[in-house]
Amino acid sequence: MIVNEATFALMDSVASPADIDTTLRLGANYPQGPLALADAIGLDVILQILEALQRESGEERYRAPLLRMMIAAGWTGRAAGRGFFTYETGQNA
């Protein structure tokens, strides 16, 4: 769910992906920023989780519009070489 909130912050131009991740690493002691974590897991996997949460709860906050746009563009995370960050293709998490 923190990935979902981070994507809304990004959509609202609160901060860049790097700044969002740095803030949560330093301010909340997360070992990895939520956007980098989402890239490592795969945005398509994150979207499946959020869709399940939306189905179960009926909450609109799980609608994940940014993730849907990114996945449609082929930006599914680290394995694809592009997600919230850019990676060398084939680089492992």
Q: Where are the domains of the chain?
A: 2-80
* Model confidence pLDDT, tens digit, residues 24-59: 999 999 999 999 999 999 999 999 999 999 999 999
Residues of the chain above pLDDT 70, percent: 96
Structural contact between residues 22 and 30, judged by C-beta atoms closer than 8 angstroms: no
At 93, is the pLDDT very low, low, confident or very high (cuts 50, 70, 90)?
Answer: very low
Question: For position 88, what pLDDT does the model report?
Answer: 87
CATH hierarchy code of domain 2-80: 1.10.1040.50
d(CA 59, CA 71): 21
Residue 77 in 3-state DSSP? strand
Tell me the mean pLDDT in the region 55-65.
94
